[in-house]
Structure 1
Amino acid sequence: MNIQGKIALVTGASRGIGRAIAVELAKQGAKRLLLLARDRQQLTEVAMEIEALGVEAVILPLDLTQLVEVNIALAQAWRDYGPIDLLVNCAGVAHQVPFLKSQLLQVQEEINVNLIGMYTITRLIARRMAVQRQGRIVNVSSLMGKVAAPSMATYSATKFAILGFTQALRGELAAHNIQVMALLPSLTDTHMVRDLQWFRWVVPMTPEKVAHALITGLHKESPEILVGWQSYLAVWCNRIAPMLLEMLLMMASPIYRDGQKRFPTPRSMPSASFGSVTN
């Protein structure tokens, strides 16, 4: 896909990977960028950065869990700013807590934002793309959508679900000339993950690297875009020696410290961040 002259909608665009993707799309010559997240002030800052590159930016301060508001705002945006050529679903929330200590409200929040919110906006945009018979949808999953992580059970489950959702849509929407792909970054150094207890031996990447990988994947029309050598290594190990990989993940997990198994202090990321833990 050539970004030049296209209109793109990026969710989770206020910071982290979403912000980096929006800026990179502007650098690639997008005509207009629609930026969606909950924080109006941060969205305004991103919009100013994009407009300094000579690209029009429109902010959509929305909470993806508020389905009626999202429906109304996106219908109006499509009418006012033109057909959307590219949708990047980057919004997400993560809570790091051992499963036995997890709270239902946090579990529901992860599911509502990571899955229901993504489903809602994808349904709205995909229906319109089908009418115009063209479009591209990128769903940001995670390496945790391939390899589940201890202390991140619900988050991992949502990221696995995103891959299944993406694969199903890829088949269904192909007849409408809509391409659907998944972006799978590993741990990325964003505001959202800086309070997490990181897994040992994992080297974080930058949001800009993830954004560059997306652009490369768009040009190559890759159905799944793994980012970084660690992702390729983990997926390869999971194929040939899954039990070994599970053991290594447990050893690297925050619930193992100094060779002793114990649970970490629960930490949670605010959904206002609108970026996944690997994002």
Structure 2
Amino acid sequence: MDIRGKTALITGASRGIGRAIALEFARQGINRVLLVARDSQRLAEVADEIRSLNVEAIPLTIDLSQPIEVSIAVAQAWRDHGPVHILVNCAGVAHQATFLQTRLPQVQQEIATNLIGMYTITRLVARRMVAQREGAIVNVSSLMGKLAAPTMATYSATKFAILGFSQALRGELAAHNVKVITLLPTLTDTDMVRHLQWFRWIMPVSSQQVAETLMVGLKRGSNEILVGWQSHLAVWCNRIAPWIMEKILLLAAPLPRKPQKVYPELRKAG
């Protein structure tokens, strides 16, 4: 796939992987980038970086959890800046906790951003891509969309869902010349993960490495793009011996090594 001269819309573009993809697209000859996120100040900074590369950048401050807001913004962007050829769904949030310590508001936020937000903007853009019979949709999942791990149950659930959503969409939109690609980064050193407890033995990759791997995958026409040799090894091991991979994940997870005193009132009741 050749991105030169095209227009891309990237969500989660104010930081991390989304920002890195936007900048890499600019370096690789994209014509225009629509940058979507909630942080207007950071978006403006990324837009300035892209413009310094002689590429048009349009920051769009949008909350993807608000469907009406998203619908209006996409319609206006299409009217003012022309058709979008590439959609990159990168917006996401992650909360880490053992399942018994999870809180419903955090789970709801993960679902609202990682899934509902992605669905909302994809539905609007995909319809227009089908009408123009051209387009590519990149959904950013995670290695945890292939291998779920303790302390990340609900985050993994959303990333597994993105993988399934992408696979179904790929089949539906192929006849309309719209491609659907899934990007699966391993642990990436971004603002989002710095407050999390990292898994043992995992070597994080940079946002730039993720963006460069995406470009290689797009040029090859790959449907699923894994990032980093550890990801390829983990997925291969899971296919050959899933029970061994599950034990490795349990050992790697940042779980307490002694039983926690959780919900003593339940023990007393028992």
Compute the TM-score of the two structures, normalised by the length of structure 1. 0.92
Compute the displacement of 1:256 (Å).
3.9
Which residue identity does 1:56 align to in structure 2? Answer: E
State the alpha-carbon separation in 2 of the partners of residues 112 and 95 from structure 1.
13
Dislocated runs of 4+, deviation >4 Å: none
- Percent of aligned positions with the same letter in both sequences? 67
* Distance change >3 Å, CA 25–CA 262, structure 1 → 2: farther
Q: How does 1:23-42 map to 2 (within 5 A)?
A: 23-42=23-42
Which residue identity does 2:76 align to in structure 1? Answer: Q
* Distance change >3 Å, CA 262–CA 208, structure 1 → 2: farther
SS at match of 1:95: coil
Q: Is the 8 A contact 1:3 1:29 kept in 2?
A: yes
Residue 100 of structure 2: aligned partner? 100
Compute the displacement of 1:3 (Å).
1.1
State the alpha-carbon separation in 2 of the partners of residues 262 and 86 from structure 1.
47
Root-mean-square deviation (CA, aligned residues, Å) is 1.2
Which residue identity does 1:229 align to in structure 2? Answer: W
SS at match of 2:138: strand
CA displacement 1:58-86 (0-9 Å, x = unmatched) = 00111100111011011100110000000
CA displacement 1:112-139 (0-9 Å, x = unmatched) = 1100100000000000000000000000
Q: Which runs of 5+ in 1 are unaligned?
A: 264-279
Q: How does 1:92-171 map to 2 (within 5 A)?
A: 92-171=92-171
CA displacement 1:37-74 (0-9 Å, x = unmatched) = 00000000000000000000000111100111011011
Q: Which runs of 5+ in 2 are unaligned?
A: 262-270
**1:66 and 2:73 correspond:** no
SS at match of 1:193: coil
Compute the displacement of 1:261 (Å).
5.4
Residue 192 of structure 1: aligned partner? 192
State the alpha-carbon separation in 2 of the partners of residues 228 and 147 from structure 1.
15
How many pairs are equivalent? 262
Q: How does 1:249-264 map to 2 (within 5 A)?
A: 249-257=249-257, 260=258
Residue 219 of structure 1: aligned partner? 219
Residue 84 of structure 2: aligned partner? 84
SS at match of 2:210: helix
State the alpha-carbon separation in 2 of the partners of residues 176 and 76 from structure 1.
24
Structure with bigger RCO (C-alpha 8 Å, 6+ apart): 1
Compute the displacement of 1:205 (Å).
0.3
Compute the TM-score of the two structures, normalised by the length of structure 2. 0.95
